[in-house]
Amino acid sequence: MPRDGSITLGDIQDEATLAIACDRCGRAGRYPLAPLIKRHGADYVIPDLLRTLSADCPKRHSGPSYDMCGCHCPELPRLFAMPSLV
């Protein structure tokens, strides 16, 4: 599977869980990473994982674009933040 610059499950394998949330429908949860890696592989990219986990979202393919599913990983920016240059 081409990476295309996306973060993979292997990139975050040191974390115990992965938080997933949607600001539009309010769904949220934490997934243990070990089973996700076992099921999908360490090279599985996060955008594909989000599409898989939100496949049953009623907002995934319907309605206006501004109200479509907004599934994301709210903690990923913290994991990949650049250190402060102070």
Model pTM above 0.95: no
Measure the CA–CA gap between 26 and 81, rounded to whole angstroms: 25
For the beta carbon of residue 3, count every other beta carbon within 10 angstroms.
Answer: 10
The phi-psi region of residue 26 (left if phi > 0; otherwise alpha if psi is between -120 and 50; otherwise beta) is left
pLDDT digits (tens, 9 = 90+) for 4-63: 778 999 999 999 999 999 888 888 999 999 999 999 999 999 999 999 998 888 777 767
Break the chain into its structural domains and give their ranges. 10-75
